[in-house]
Structure 1
Amino acid sequence: MSVKIIMDEAQINRAVTRMSHEILEKHKGPENIVILGVKTRGEHLAKRIMEKIESIEGVKIPTGTIDISGYRDDRPEDAKSSDAVITEADYTDKNVVIVDDVLETGRTIRAAIDAILNLARPKTISLSILVDRGHRELPIRPDYIGKNIPTSKSEKVIVKVDEVDGETSVTIQ
């Protein structure tokens, strides 16, 4: 099985910088933005975006984590719950940016939106994705994209972040 490096650490850092600027531009500054990263790698990418926005604007914006495991539609009914774990709860009337590592079918993001709306009513919800690989099953479209990577269904996109994996990269297997 061959492994192809799609993004190295420097390319990921540039993508995070670009997406951070795009988020600020779209919302006309850092006010009323809350960033929620989908557990596990999305939460670390969200923290990187928050840190980049802080370095650009000098303002620390609220950042949290969403654990959507109870909202997944591909889990058995007895394994589901309606209890989302969101570490940043003050996002009513805020512009929420969901951050995740890879977008494929859209089911994870649908679950994240359900979890968010179950707990509060944000002003807007947008989506920041490091890698968009296609193969959508739901009408979900990212607003901020690190890189589009057309893939076949049989290929695996592997995102690694230093905080979890000891390195930062995106590969295809």
Structure 2
Amino acid sequence: MAFEKLFERHSRRIYNLLVRLCGNAALAEDLTQETFLTAYQRLSDWRGVGALSTWLCGIAVKHHLAARRKTHFTQSLDTLELSADRTSDPLERYTEREAVLALDSAIAALPDSCREVFILVRLQEMRYREVADLLGIPLGTVQSRLARATALLQNSLSPLPQKGAERHAL
């Protein structure tokens, strides 16, 4: 009963993390189930240090890394969560949706190592040290991968010059 509540409370976050990491909704569902199965089997291993959600994210990332080592999978995001509509203006909703799609596409196109760090730090709001420990990499590597991911995203999301803009500037 208590584990059911744990699952209900954290499964959505774990699924969203995994779908962003692997870009595949079906695989994310499988890995979410594996994450909670592992958590159930190893609940006695959790020492109470740090947040339980961080421990669960760590298990999820380890399952993702294991799956990535076993197979190569395509980078397609099958699901997209949009924030609740804040306006009834269809143009504004369309623009917001396009921005979210562009961002998700840009994140999915990042190299695996940069994407993992970006998602864990920026989207899951984990501390650099937690990510370093989780991925088994030095703290400086987390920082450099995050900087590279940010630069790549800024580059890919920068607006393209409009045709004829040069003529109007003259």
Q: Same fold (TM over 0.5)?
A: no
Q: Give the alignment's TM-score, normalised by structure 2.
A: 0.24
Q: Give the alignment's TM-score, normalised by structure 1.
A: 0.24
- Higher strand content, 1 or 2: 1
Question: RCO greater where, 1 or 2, for CA within 8 Å and sep 6 or more?
Answer: 1
- Higher helix content, 1 or 2: 2
